[in-house]
Structure 1
Amino acid sequence: MTTRPKVAVIGAGFGGIAAAVAVRDDGDPVVLERGSDVGGVWRENSYPGAACDIPSHLYSFSFALEHRWSRRFAPQPDILRYLRRITDEFGLRPRLRLRTEVTEARYDDDRSVWRLTTATGDALEAQMLVAACGQLTRPTRPDVPGLATFHGPVLHSARWDPDVDLRGRRVAVVGTGASAVQIVPAVADDVAHLTVFQRSAAHLVPKPDRRYSALHHALFRRVPVWRRGARALLMAVFERAGAAPVGPASAAVRRAWELLLRVQVPDAGLRARLRPAHALGSRRVLVSSDWYRALRKPHVDLVTAAVDEVTPCGVRTVDGALHPADVIVLATGFESDVFVTPMKVFGRDGRELSDEWRDGAAAHLGMAVPGFPNLFLVHGPHTALRAGSVVHMIECQARYVLQAVRRIAGGTHTLEVRREVADAFAAEMAERSEPGTRNAHEWPGTMREYERRTARFADTDFLAT
């Protein structure tokens, strides 16, 4: 007997939308989103300069290739419009429950269902739970003494207030990661003075961005094979980059990067502060053609002394210097280890997922956790990429979830990954990561490898009842 199992999808970003589209014919999905609209991280991150850091034509679903991108590296409004369009075109609007935050998910072993509780006290039951909360949902706010005493606005890159006007003001930016390298160049020409506080420098490579012409749009709109060919070419380029071993780059690559830094930053003092202490290739490489140029401007200061405290009128560093500011911008990233918090998830015997992950988050293929039947994560542990499109990874996971839904629809009550299978995968991820580090985020292989390994739902990996 075939039924259409109820599938609760938590989150309406790329992951939640992909999962809901994948299972809509075989399951009965409902998408629970705490925000006021779809978009996930691309709804929340609306700071100046926000854009994807891979070419746009890799940043859409293969089943709905986009040809309307305004630039080679799509800005945030383009991506948000795309996700809204996909939601409408695939009929997901009636399945959305917006402004609905799930605070608890508890597995009922007797009835083989997940019981969900929302922040307003509403309850929902589903045979399968898909947690598409993502890795970039909970902003990190540094615990800096005096931050609450600051007289001006304090903005986080993931909670931007568009009503705060930075023009003609003294702005302090704390952080030099992926969001900072977009924000600083975007606002540098508008502010009176910009102070950037750097804890550790990162390696950067140029971003070959450009605005797309009318001819480009016409080709991609009218010649689908052109669109698919461009995507295939980009996929091949990033596959090659992703195939590089995890660890320090070769001497030739290091010399090339050093030459690039010298050309872009002639000032030896500034260049020394921008030279990372870690080896090239051992951490994420950022993408920007404007970061170094912005830091060279006469009204922009790069401060490497650690922040000691915030005063009502500025930021004081450990060397005693006070840096006046009218606005503070926290470009301090996200708590990327948490995955599903603040939601509490309880599996068999009332065991909480945070207890299962006490020594670090782990899931078989980034999706399944022992002791948590019929729960699948989208963009969970070990599914971020050093090089490539996370949208491709998410699509692979959505297709894998669909296979699980079909088994539930076919009469299986529960699917629970075997402990030995999950442990073997965790050991493999540790072995393939850089020695001496604990990697709970990145996939150590290529996009195509992940696609191959998730293409078929291996029933022998799961306990089925």
Structure 2
Amino acid sequence: MTAPTTDGHTAAGDLTDGGVTDIDVAIVGAGFAGLGMGIRLARRGRESFVLLERAAEVGGTWRDNTYPGVACDIPSHLYSFSFRPRPDWSRVFAPGSEIQEYLREAARAEGLLPHLRFGADMHEARWEGDRWRITTGAGTWRARVLVMAAGRLSEPRMPELPGLESFPGPVFHTSRWDPGADLTGRVGVVGTGASAAQVIPGLAERASQLVVFQRSAPWVVPRNDRAYSPEELRELADPAHAARVRDGMFADAERNFPQRLGRHPDIDRLRDTAEHHLAAQVPDPRLRALLTPDYEIGCKRVLLSDDLYPALARENVTLEPSALTAIEGGKAVAGSGARHDVDALVVATGFRSTDPPFAQRVVGRTGLLAEHWSAGMTAYASTVVHGFPNLFVLDGPNASLGHNSAVHMIETQIGYVEGALDHLARSAEPLEVSRAAEAGYTAEIDARSRDTVWLRGGCRSWYVDPRSGRLTLLWPGTAGSFRERNGRFDPSPFGH
């Protein structure tokens, strides 16, 4: 690996005669995962690296999602890097703009700006026998190691609806928010997931009429968000106190995992909380019936909200208890046959989480990553893939959680990559995990997933790959068990 330069900064790469930049590590994506990896590499000072970002700013999800009401549903002190804590979060659950500012400041303060290349949409990453050749809109790099940090929530999933292309008003996904759109008239919201739950209350106050298309009712529990008091902020300025707060939040979240296994009384307490929340906030029995889910709690993402139900109960809001199926001029046609006049459509239908588009652009030793994942994403240690030497996927197969902070998982994977880099510094041979190791890990995941609420809860969710029916997004265990299983690099499973 490349040594640091004499001025204390790690070189960003050397330009070859062919206009290709040689680098030790190429990181694709500058959200939480990419920036976290970059920070750790910058602090190591051992490898040259580049951060390739297709947009014009860092932040990933928190750069893209600017809709009114966007915020995290994990407590702020837990949804941040353990190696770069922030003491002055304004609220228990940080608003999106505050998280985005945290990431911008981290990139600046940690010296990542010289390593960032914006407008660098990855066209192709191809393994050439000993290095990866990464072709982007901002140039081409040859890297010994490729770290994919494109995330799960980067490619919006738009519904394929007859007539949608001819709708006369504005249509946009929540992650592509149009601040200039007129949303004061008759507005339709497609979906009732996490983004919809945050955007609906504000739209209900703004629009003259709001219709919400609900394919299936979500389970909702109280959010209990609040601003931190001046006294709390003074206490949190003490790093030791802030660390205790973070540790307490982590432990509280871990205690909720048995709910996802359907264990009693854990899941019963969670269901009771949600049912009492619905009953307290929706007195109308007809509306309450429409908002009562028909699947087990936890099968889909459990929403945190104190204002969704009151918004849906407003006189100017109509809950359409079926999916949007077609557009006919200015009318939105629901699965129930109901037709609603709308002037604008806000689409909150999630992301391409189980079939990431970047997989169509990664060509390994054995072919396309998308072909390897044609029956659902797999990876050994949720990070490395057979047939793709020196490739590390962050926040990818079975590396997310339904009950705790994704940042903990990302940091675990970053530690794994650091161990791999240490190994590569001592060896000239590429690292390719064996087919048997990846298959064995996948079988272990499938066995651990079998009795979870995600597969037995009677719902259809973005956690499960629709092609195979496998749980491919979530780790079927605690955050702590993921670190125990995957937090340390072991070279023994590598080799053909």
TM band (smaller chain): over 0.9
C-alpha distance in structure 2 between counterparts of 1:26 and 1:249, whole Å: 50
AA at the equivalent of 1:163: G
Query: How does the TM-score come out when normalised to structure 1?
Result: 0.94
Task: Indicate the residue corresponding to 1:52 in structure 2.
Answer: 72
Task: Indicate the residue corresponding to 2:91 in structure 1.
Answer: 71
Matched-pair contact (CA < 8 Å) for 1:2–1:411 = no
Task: Indicate the residue corresponding to 1:142 in structure 2.
Answer: 159
Distance verdict in 2 for CA 1:362–1:157, change over 3 Å:
same
Task: Indicate the residue corresponding to 2:110 in structure 1.
Answer: 90
Task: Indicate the residue corresponding to 1:240 in structure 2.
Answer: 255
Question: How far off its partner does 1:424 sit?
Answer: 1.0
Distance verdict in 2 for CA 1:344–1:247, change over 3 Å:
farther
Matched ranges for 1:251-262 at <5 A? 252-253=268-269, 254-262=271-279
Matched-pair contact (CA < 8 Å) for 1:247–1:282 = no
Q: Give the alignment partner of residue 402 of structure 1, picking from 418, 430, 435.
A: 418
Q: Give the alignment partner of residue 241 of structure 2, picking from 226, 231, 239.
A: 226
2:23 equivalent to 1:12: no
Matched-pair contact (CA < 8 Å) for 1:247–1:434 = no
Question: How far off its partner does 1:245 sit?
Answer: 4.4
Question: How far off its partner does 1:329 sit?
Answer: 0.2
2:341 equivalent to 1:324: yes
Task: Indicate the residue corresponding to 2:408 in structure 1.
Answer: 392
Distance verdict in 2 for CA 1:220–1:128, change over 3 Å:
same
What is the number of residues matched between the two proteins?
458
Question: How far off its partner does 1:365 sit?
Answer: 1.8
Task: Indicate the residue corresponding to 1:211 in structure 2.
Answer: 227
Distance verdict in 2 for CA 1:345–1:93, change over 3 Å:
same
Query: What do you get for the CA RMSD once the two structures are aligned?
Result: 1.8
AA at the equivalent of 2:282: V
Distance verdict in 2 for CA 1:224–1:319, change over 3 Å:
closer
C-alpha distance in structure 1 between counterparts of 2:82 and 2:428, whole Å: 30
Task: Indicate the residue corresponding to 1:201 in structure 2.
Answer: 217
Question: How far off its partner does 1:341 sit?
Answer: 2.1
Higher mean Cα deviation, 327-336 or 306-315? 306-315
Distance verdict in 2 for CA 1:185–1:87, change over 3 Å:
same
Which SS does the other structure have where 1:56 is aligned? coil
Question: How far off its partner does 1:269 sit?
Answer: 0.7
Matched-pair contact (CA < 8 Å) for 2:2–2:47 = no
Matched-pair contact (CA < 8 Å) for 1:2–1:409 = no
Matched-pair contact (CA < 8 Å) for 2:186–2:208 = yes
C-alpha distance in structure 1 between counterparts of 2:336 and 2:292, whole Å: 21
Matched ranges for 1:309-388 at <5 A? 309-341=326-358, 344-349=361-366, 351-388=367-404
AA at the equivalent of 1:9: I
2:493 equivalent to 1:461: yes
Which SS does the other structure have where 1:415 is aligned? coil
Query: How does the TM-score come out when normalised to structure 2?
Result: 0.89
Distance verdict in 2 for CA 1:342–1:455, change over 3 Å:
closer
Distance verdict in 2 for CA 1:336–1:248, change over 3 Å:
farther
2:67 equivalent to 1:35: no
Which SS does the other structure have where 2:77 is aligned? helix
Q: Percent of pairs identical after alignment?
A: 41
C-alpha distance in structure 1 between counterparts of 2:308 and 2:286, whole Å: 16
Higher mean Cα deviation, 88-97 or 452-461? 452-461
C-alpha distance in structure 1 between counterparts of 2:392 and 2:46, whole Å: 16
Q: Give the alignment partner of residue 440 of structure 1, picking from 472, 486, 489.
A: 472
AA at the equivalent of 2:173: H
Q: Give the alignment partner of residue 301 of structure 1, picking from 300, 318, 321.
A: 318
Question: How far off its partner does 1:172 sit?
Answer: 0.4
Question: How far off its partner does 1:252 sit?
Answer: 3.5
Task: Indicate the residue corresponding to 1:23 in structure 2.
Answer: 41
Question: How far off its partner does 1:96 sit?
Answer: 0.2
Unaligned ranges ≥5, structure 1: none
Distance verdict in 2 for CA 1:460–1:304, change over 3 Å:
same
AA at the equivalent of 2:436: E
Unaligned ranges ≥5, structure 2: 5-22, 456-468
Which SS does the other structure have where 1:403 is aligned? helix
Which SS does the other structure have where 1:440 is aligned? coil
